[in-house]
Structure 1
Amino acid sequence: MIRTAALLAVLALPAPALAQAYQCRAPQSVEEPRPVQPDGPRSVMPITGYTLAVSWSPEFCRGGKAAKDPGNYQCNGQIGRFGFVLHGLWPEGANGRYPQWCAVTPRPTQQDYRANMCMTPVPWLIEHEWAKHGSCMAKTPEGYFKVSRILWNSLKLPDADQLSRQDYLTAGDLRRAFMARNPGWPQSAVGLVLSNGGWLRELRLCYGRNFKPRACSKRAFGPKNDVPLKIWRGL
């Protein structure tokens, strides 16, 4: 289901190992989460593009509840400290629709969990992203996460901690910082998700079927460049 030529092109991009984690050491073993339960109908359709959803961990973890969850390595500090992490790689369909829940098996293996814990440090989320999104673009969890890692490791994400100290920070400042670290990336392909209070929650990076950046939809693009932005450091 995944186009080999497009992936080979992405493979040629630089790949900084563990570039987004402040520090991380994958656990020797991971407790297998309960089998995932679909939260919507099965929907199979042609893929027209992709979204790479990149979460800002300090904002996600600031509520405190997630930090106490023993299965949530993203927040509890057991394997390291995180800045940006990968929420998921989502295939898209036409007219704002999304393929989803194409299969819930095979389930991820211990090797799958360990190979991706420094990218997506939440075991149940790893399984959820594979079943809901990945099963519609790959035959196995290993195949899906391989593509996710290629895209993830091709990126150089901005120093959000440093940006958070900038006076009068805007959404456009973050987009420009991302573009400065990823030359040639169009600003129109950098979407943002903010909380109701204007705090950074996620980047939504938009790709075409060929895995090259393309303009986000209006919804995925999110706030305009002049919208004030706050970034919670929490570290």
Structure 2
Amino acid sequence: MKSLLVAALLACTATQALAASDCILDNCADQRPSPGEPSVAPAPDAPAPRQWPGPRRGGGAPSGDFDFYVLALSWSPAFCATGGSQRSSAQCAPGANPGFVTHGLWPQYQNGYPSRCGGDGFLPFSVLSGLGDLYPDQGLARHEWRQHGLCSGKSPSGYFADVRAARDGVAIPQAFKGPQEDREVSPLDIQRAFIDANPRLRPGMMAVVCRRGTFQEARFCLSRDLRAFVACPEVVRQGCRSQSIVMPAAQ
């Protein structure tokens, strides 16, 4: 009789543990916001994410195995002002310098990222021909597919549909749409402008990247289904540490 009572108690405890860890899309029952409340990243006491020691190349990571996406939007005037015109004459031609352009959508682990996963690196022309308004250069689109797209676990058309959805899902602040003169800004100014333009975006969910005192790009961390911004401490730590940077004007 005593053994039966002990077994029942253990079964009850296991059931309660299962219920407590029952999470959907990293949104656990005791962490879910009230109806109408914006989505937020998992609480700090959520189960620890998988760790990855660093980038894996040459097919070292299985395709489709990642935690979240990073959307990188490059500031095209900075690219062209720092030698980019030698690599992409089309992007840097007079009058063709638009402002923010898509750099890439990168599968990411909480620590590290997969790279050059196994699969067919060929990008069909039927897909490539539809990317003219998505990437500033076809060579960049091909590179992004081989370097990052293969790790998404999706077909070329499916991956680039995600790239388009991610890009369209981030609102560009009005102040950054074609400035006509160089300006001096702080990384915090850029972050605040994006947070103001995107109500669900919070500090800790994006990074501002600079190089040699010049603003390079903004990186946003998105859930795998692209429906929410997510916290990404490692990506944020790689952001710009300068107090003041130059944002070159559109040409």
TM-score, structure 2 normalization: 0.67
Equivalences for residues 81-96 of structure 1 within 5 A: 81-94=97-110, 96=111
Are 2:68 and 1:44 aligned?
no
User: How far, CA to CA, are the matches of 1:176 and 1:137 in structure 2?
Assistant: 30
Q: 1:183 aligns with which of 190, 193, 199?
A: 199
* Distance of aligned partners of 1:216 and 1:63 in 2 relative to their CA distance in 1, 3 Å threshold: same
User: How far, CA to CA, are the matches of 2:86 and 2:182 in structure 1?
Assistant: 28
Residue 19 of structure 1 aligns with which residue? none
User: How far, CA to CA, are the matches of 1:103 and 1:141 in structure 2?
Assistant: 14
> Which region of structure 1 is more displaced relative to structure 2, 205-214 or 179-188?
205-214
Residue 229 of structure 1 aligns with which residue? 245
Residue 75 of structure 1 aligns with which residue? 92
What residue identity is the alignment partner of 1:195?
R
Residue 217 of structure 1 aligns with which residue? 233
Give the CA deviation at 1:119: 1.8
What residue identity is the alignment partner of 2:142?
E
Residue 35 of structure 1 aligns with which residue? none
Q: Which has the higher contact order (CA 8 A, sep 6+)?
A: 1
Are 2:167 and 1:148 aligned?
no
Give the CA deviation at 1:172: 1.0
What residue identity is the alignment partner of 1:154?
G
* Distance of aligned partners of 1:102 and 1:72 in 2 relative to their CA distance in 1, 3 Å threshold: farther
TM-score, structure 1 normalization: 0.71
User: Contact 1:68 / 1:76 at 8 angstroms: preserved in 2?
Assistant: no
User: Contact 2:204 / 2:236 at 8 angstroms: preserved in 1?
Assistant: no
User: Contact 2:206 / 2:219 at 8 angstroms: preserved in 1?
Assistant: yes
Give the CA deviation at 1:85: 0.6
User: Contact 2:57 / 2:117 at 8 angstroms: preserved in 1?
Assistant: no
3-state DSSP of counterpart to 2:91: helix
Unaligned runs of 5+ in 1: 1-5, 7-38
User: Contact 1:72 / 1:121 at 8 angstroms: preserved in 2?
Assistant: no
Of the two, which has the highest radius of gyration? 2
User: Contact 2:91 / 2:137 at 8 angstroms: preserved in 1?
Assistant: yes
Between the aligned residues of both structures, percent identity stands at: 28
RMSD between superposed Cα atoms in Å: 2.8
3-state DSSP of counterpart to 1:54: strand
The size of the alignment, in residue pairs, is 192
Give the CA deviation at 1:164: 6.6
